[in-house]
Each structure stands twice: as C-alpha cells, then as structure tokens.
Chain A
C-alpha cells in the first residue's frame, strides 16, 4: 500500500514542477505572435519564481525527514540551499530579460525559462537525494538541459563550440561518476548513503569508486585538474548562462558533495582518504586558477578562472567538517552555505554588470572597461563592490564568508591549507584590483558609452548589492544557518 502523502514532503520539487508546467502552458497559449514575444516579455517567470521561493521559505519545519523509503532526504538546510539557488535563478532571469528581448532570441525565450528551471529541478533532486540513483538522476537532469543553455546562441560559433565542449565533458564525467558508483556498490552492496559500510576485504574497491566519484564531482564543480572545460565554456556561453553556471550549478554541486561525503563516507579511514585527495585538489584549484586568472584579457574567461579558485574556497568548507563537533555545531556546513550565499550575491552582481555592458555596447575585454568610471560611474561602483566582496575585503560580505570558511578549516586542523589559501587571497586581490584599476584609473579613447540600464537589470543589481552589503554585517544570517546546520548534519 503506497502512502501517497509522502509526495507532499517533496513540496519544493512539486512547486517548482508546477511553475515549469504553468510556464509551458503560458508559452503554448499566449506566445503565438513571436514578433512581440508574448507573455514572456513580462515579469511572469520572475514573479512565479519569487512566489515559489517565498512559499519554500515560509513553512520551515526544523526536523529532517525521509520519504520514498530513504531515496529522498530532506533537511532544513536543504530548504535554505534550494531557496538560495532560487534567488540565483531569479537574478539570472532578471539579467536575461534584455538579452532575451533581442530579435533573434524572442522566438525561443520560452525555452530559456523552462530549460533553466529544469536544471534547477535536477539540482533540487540532487540536493535531497538519499540514494546514489536519485542523486545521479538529479545530476543528469541538471547537466543535460544545461547544454541547451550553453549553446543557446546557436548561430554564434563560440556558443555552439562551448555547448559541444560542455556536453562531451559532462557526459564523460557522468560516466566516470557512474562507474565510481558501481564500484562503490560492488564494495558495499548498497546505494543508500546511510547504508554504506565497507567490507574490510574490498576497501581498495571502495577507494577506486570514491576517487572516480570525486573526479566526476570535480568536473561539475570545475576543480583543478578537472577544470579544462571551464574557461572555453564560460567564454562561449551567453553571459547570462555563464553567470548561472558559475554560481547556481557550481554551488549546488559543492553543497551536494558535502552532503554525500558527510552522509556516506565518514567512517574509518575513508574520511582520511578523501581529505587527502581534496587537500591537494584545493591547493591546485586555488593556486593554478589564480595564476591563470592574472593573464586573462577577456572578462568572461577571467571570471571563469576566478570561479575555479572560488570553488576551491567553497570546497574548503567541506574540509571544515562533515560531522558535528563536540558542542553540536556544524561549522563546516554553515560556513559553506554562508559562503555560497555571499558568493552568489557578489558573482551574480559582477555578471549583471558584465551582461548589461555587453548588451549595451558589445564589449567584453578587460581593456574595454578602461574609463568605465568616467562614463557609467554607478555601474563601475557596483562592480567594485562585487569584486571587493569576491576578494574578501570588509565591510563587504565576502570578508565574513572567507573568514568563516577559513576558520572552519583551521578548526578542523588544516592549518597549512588555510595558510596557503590565505596567501592565495593576495593573488586574487591582485587580479580583482586589475579590473578596478581599469575602471577607475586607466584612460581610454573609446570608453563604453554612457547608457541607462533597464529596470530588470537594476532589480538584479539591487538584490546583489543588498546581499553584498548586508549579508556579512547582519550577523543573524550566519547565526540562523548555524542553528539549522546542527539539525541538518
């Protein structure tokens, strides 16, 4: 006798599905006249997503629960992460509005919203999974529609190229991951996260499985040495999609990695094994990405390397603790989610500026930003705030999130790692300052002409700026995350 009320536990996923279906219907009924763009040229997707986020956040239950026989896990922290992703998607939609209003995109703007929301749905399932199968379905649902997004400007050569690169590597990494999962199954006889107990004789099998699993996740989070697709894909994809990839897709994968490692791989020596692996991966990601970022001249490639190094910091939160400490606090998880939240605000803000400049002037090189402060002082100022936040400068939120994530890793005993990461923040400060220098100090004969941003971009920028300015100083955000992380691990 199946208990159908269990589906109600999944109200977040069902809500998102309802939004998707609603948009489908709207697309079908109202979008007949492709010249005017029908209903999607309105704020409908944004409004629906906003309602969904509010609906998700309202009835917060503070207890974790399971559904579908343990396939589906839900914790209060999941709600927060899903809502964070929602906000990221919302900002993406706001940013996308002007780009979608272009003649070549008007016809297919319905697809953009629906496909984006499908990837989001995949991430939802991935986050709440309690079983490797569910996890893999979520992952694929999040990856495959993403290809459509990356090559959304399909008649632009770079966009198509980026899509091809992305799908090949995404499938390859999925295959690796799946193979890893099969080895894990061979070693332990179960695919439920909480039933993975190693057989002493097959521990090497488990180890192989774990390394393949980490490699697969490394592709999704774009950690060095699995990062090679990142720069090309980020450069070729439409700027809006790049923003979405670098924050929402990456952030959800990092959180899921934390959850899976925390739920399935905390026993015995396995924890040490993946900690050693992540240790070197983090050092490589942060250091190499920082060094590469210095040399970039295209802003989107630059942001790609910046995002790889930021991913390294995110994963530092995983090192910061996957098990509750003696006093019951889950410092690592809190720090990671807080970092993700702040990173979302700062990175989305930067991409909103990059996008609006590109839409209005078609310029994307760093040297095109020379003298931006003279022509568009407000945009340059907001960009500066976001870059300072990414670099971890107080009083902006990035300082707090970096401090806390370092603190968590330090507390877990990774002192050398924290030191290396700290030294790297100086390198990152250097290249973020290069952009600031271009905007404020360097002179240009052909600066970006003065323009007025559209209302949607302004709304996106307002959300991001509020996040950058307030998330850190308002201490209750972190305190609240800490209180729910305790029951979520």
Chain B
C-alpha cells in the first residue's frame, strides 16, 4: 500500500471510531488524535518530498501508485503528488487541525460529516485519476448541506440548499467535461499525467473538442473557485455555516476549484486554454474587483469576509490564466495564504460572535479593550489580508502581479492594473471594519462584561498566525516547493499551445 493513501485511511478510521465511541471526551480524543496524525503526516510528506526532490527524484509525480478499480472502464485508484499537491495537503492538514479545536463543543454527528468532508479534501489532492478525483470532490461537497443546514445560523436552510445545488450544478458540467476529455483522448486512460503527456494510449484531444470541454471543466471547477457570475453561493453559504465549516470551506474547499482548473482544465487542454483564456480572464477580473467593492458595503462580518474571499479566490484563477511561471506560482501561494488567513478570520469571527451574539459591525465597537487577544488576532488577519509585508498576503499578491505584468500586450496590462486596484479597495474595507469594531469606545454595555478567548480557542489562532507569518517571513521555502510543481505544468501548456 502506498503511503499517500494514509491520508484517506486516517479519516476513514476516524469515521469508524467516531461511530463507535460515546461521550464528548472520547469524541474529542478521536478528533484531536486523528487531525494531529493528519497534520503530522502532511508535515512528514513535505519533508520527505523535498528531500527526495533534492536527491534528484525528478518525475512529475512522486510516490505514484495505481490499483485497478473498474478495469473495463480504465478507471484506477491512482495516487501521486507534486509540489502543488504537497502544499495543498499541508494547508488542509493545518485547517482540519485548527478546525477541530474551533468546533470543540460540537456533537458527534457534526464531527462525522466534518471528517467525511476532510476525507474528500485529502483524497482529492492525492488523486491523479480523473474519476477518483471527481469522486473525492463530490464527497467533499455534500456534507456541507447538513453541516450548514443543521448547525448553521441565520437563513441556513436557504443557504445550504443554494450552496449545494450550485456546487453540484458545477459538478454536472464537470462530469460532462471529464467524459469529453476521457473519450476525446482516446478513451484508454483516466490518468491525468498520461492524458497530458499522451502516454498510456492517450492521444491529443482535437482542438474543436477542447473548445467545448475546456469551458465546461473550467466553469465546473470555477463555481467552487467563486468565478463570477457563479460566486453567489459563497457569501450566503459562508455567512450561515458554523465556524469551523466556514474555515474549512473557504480555507480548503474553495482551493479545490483553483487546483482543479489548473490541474484538469488547463493542464489537459492547453490549446483551448490559450484560445479561451481571455474570456475567463475578464470574468475573474470582475470577480476580483467586484468582490472587493461588495465587501465594502457589507455590514455583517462574515459577509465582508466572504466577499473578500470571492475577490481573493478570483485572484487565484486570474493568476493561473496568465499562464506564466511567476503568476502561477503566485496563484498557488495565494491559495495557501488565503486559506490560512480566511480560516483565521472565520475562526475569530466565530469566537466574537459566540460572545456578542451579533456580527453586525454597526453594533460592535471597542472590542480591543474587552477581548484584547481576539482583537489583536483580528488585526493581524486583517493586515495579512490587505497585503502587509511580512505576512503571507504580500508574498502572494506581489508574485501574482509581477507575473501578470510580464505580459506585454495592452489587454493583459489593463486587466492587471484593474485587478491591482482591488488592493486599495481591500485596504478600505479591512481598515474600516477593524477600526469600527475594535477601536473607539464600547457603546453596548452588555459587551463590557465579556471575556477574552479561552485556552482552547487561543491555540488554533496562534497556530494559524504562526503559519501566516512563516510564509510571509520565509517565502522562498514555499515558493521552492510550489515552483517544482508549477514549472512543468506551465512549460507543458506553453510548449503545446505556444
């Protein structure tokens, strides 16, 4: 058995254990043990991966393994990782780990669905077979319905249904796209690497077919990556979800979209990517600017952050479509950075909401005095979000815009400049929000008696802040890891389409 499969096995064991145990204490033990094991495995994988790369293992995917599953249909359970997947696994490990602590008081069924969601996420990032990948993708989507519908707040039923239907609608497009790619490439292999490199019986997909399947696949994943105009599930969904689910969803699940766009849509159909990138560049450009402006006018903390996510995730797709090394590396770093920052944001918002019972910024003020720890964490998350040097946001956005500006033509330049303007808008809504709720005099006397974060709450916040600072202070480590995965794909796209 390949050791990557451990990322699927641990959640499976956790599900089984959760099913069997009784009592809050036992449930917590299972969750903490399991998520720690996942994080430890992710760290171990990163170290092992970098060591092996340094030692000269230069295959596109490392630790590959393949087991026949539905052989007549050429479906295999195939796993393998490159730099991008390792980075994503590490991110998922951190978010699941911190998410466990944030949802400390939740019941057993909640953790069952939560773990199933994690299972899907980890499985998605280790797969290199389109069917397996798609299966894990959908496994990750459906628990959201119950997690939001049962344990959410506000208009949770509406949000849960909207989110589920829109994302599953995306996956209907995606399934069509996968069939198109599979049969377009000869119907002999579902393996991504083989289809891309035309080995294992696959041949090049005709351009006329690519022109149909590329938009389908890209939109399919793009729905999850908050591509305009398919982003509307995101604000409602995030606002209604329980804290840890918002963290996991904005932090990891939305990255599935970007990852899939890059790994399946762009990597497998380079010519169509080249031809159609401009349409999606415009759409993602709108996401970036529109998301930022929408965040400015929101009054609910979670809505602000959700629109901010639309803007930042739009930036990920925007950078990927620039198709050059720098911009694409920036996109992957942005995924990491945004994942960590949004998770931190949602965790803090959840903790503040748990105390004040309101997320309306008009009713909150002067929290710095009352809960200094949470307030400081909030300021750090905010500064990271608007791209303060030394935190991860700066590294990511800098790389993206430098990469995007490398295109010399007017179209790309104009779009880049417009997208850049979102940085200013981000500063507007972040500073306004931070200033309004944290500083000044507390006007609500009920809030004066509130307490600061408990130890269990502080722990995930500290972990997330450390990770954000680590990327910000030592970006070469991350970009080295990510670059190893991005370069072959970008070169492949450029070589085929160029």
Contact = CB atoms under 8 A, between A and B. Distances in A.
B72 A482 contact: yes
Contacts of A425: 168, 172
A170 to B, nearest CB: 36
B340 interface: no
A403 B131 CA distance: 9
14 contacts: A393-B138, A394-B135, A395-B135, A410-B183, A415-B176, A422-B173, A425-B168, A426-B172, A429-B164, A433-B164, A441-B149, A441-B150, A475-B70, A479-B71
Interface in A40-93: none
A407 B73 contact: yes
Q: Which of B68, B165, B168, B182 has the most CB of A within 10 A?
A: B168
The 9 closest A-B pairs by CB, nearest first: A422-B172, A482-B72, A410-B179, A475-B69, A394-B135, A441-B149, A426-B169, A394-B138, A393-B142
Given A399-B138, A403-B131, A478 B172 contact: no
A393 B134 CA distance: 11
B169 A411 contact: no
Contacts of B157: 437, 441
Contacts of A382: none
Contacts of A475: 68-71, 75
A478 B183 contact: no
Nearest to B152: A441
B146 interface: yes
Contact of B70 (A423, A437, A440, A479): A479
Given A422-B172, A437-B149, A437-B161, A388 B142 contact: yes
B72 A403 contact: no
Interface string B66-101: 001111110100000000000000000000000000
A482 B75 CA distance: 13
Interface string A378-414: 0000000000100001110001000110110011000
Contacts of A482: 72
B139 A406 contact: no
B181 to A, nearest CB: 11
A440 B142 contact: no
B175 interface: yes
A418 interface: yes
Given A395-B139, A422-B172, A433-B145, A407 B179 contact: yes
Contacts of B173: 422
Contacts of B156: 441
A179 interface: no
A331 B73 CA distance: 9
A395 B11 CA distance: 14
A220 to B, nearest CB: 30
Contacts of A407: 73, 179, 182
A140 B389 CA distance: 80
Contacts of A388: 142
A418 B165 CA distance: 18
Interface of A is mostly: helix
B139 A411 contact: no
B475 interface: no
Contacts of B172: 422-423, 425-426
Contact of B175 (A403, A411, A437): A403
Interface in B352-404: none
Interface in B311-334: none
Interface in B268-301: none
Interface residues of A, number: 33
B202 to A, nearest CB: 16
Given A393-B142, A440-B149, A478 B70 contact: yes
B150 A411 contact: no
A356 interface: no
Contacts of B484: none
B73 to A, nearest CB: 7
Given A410-B179, A475-B69, A440 B168 contact: no
Interface in A328-378: 329, 331, 334
Nearest to A482: B72
Contacts of A429: 164-165, 168
A98 B271 CA distance: 63
Contacts of B70: 404, 475, 478-479
A257 interface: no
Given A410-B183, A426-B169, A433-B164, A404 B73 contact: yes
A456 interface: no
Contacts of A479: 70-72
Given A410-B179, A440-B149, 7 more contacts: A334-B72, A404-B70, A410-B176, A419-B176, A433-B145, A437-B149, A475-B75
A483 to B, nearest CB: 8
A436 interface: yes
A411 B70 CA distance: 16
Given A419-B176, A441-B157, A329 B72 contact: yes
Contacts of B69: 475
Interface in B146-203: 146, 149-150, 156-157, 161, 164-165, 168-169, 172-173, 175-176, 179-180, 182-183, 187
B145 A411 contact: no
Nearest to A402: B175
Interface in A428-468: 429-430, 433, 436-437, 440-441
B307 to A, nearest CB: 25
Nearest to A485: B72
Contacts of A329: 72
B71 A406 contact: no
Contacts of A436: 145-146
Contacts of B182: 407
Contacts of B139: 394-395
Nearest to A384: B146
Contact of B135 (A399, A426, A430, A478): A399
Contact of A418 (B71, B73, B176): B176
Given A403-B131, A433-B161, A475-B68, A422 B175 contact: yes
A410 B180 CA distance: 8
Contacts of A395: 135, 139
A331 B74 CA distance: 12
A475 B76 CA distance: 10
Nearest to B164: A433
A422 B138 contact: no
A407 B130 CA distance: 13
A410 B156 CA distance: 37
A301 B289 CA distance: 48
Contacts of B72: 329, 331, 334, 478-479, 482-483
Contact of A426 (B131, B136, B168, B180): B168
A373 to B, nearest CB: 9
Contacts of A440: 146, 149-150
A425 B169 CA distance: 9
A421 to B, nearest CB: 9
Contacts of A403: 131, 175
A331 B135 CA distance: 20
A387 B164 CA distance: 15
A172 B165 CA distance: 40
B187 A411 contact: yes
A418 B174 CA distance: 12
Interface string B118-136: 0000000000000100011
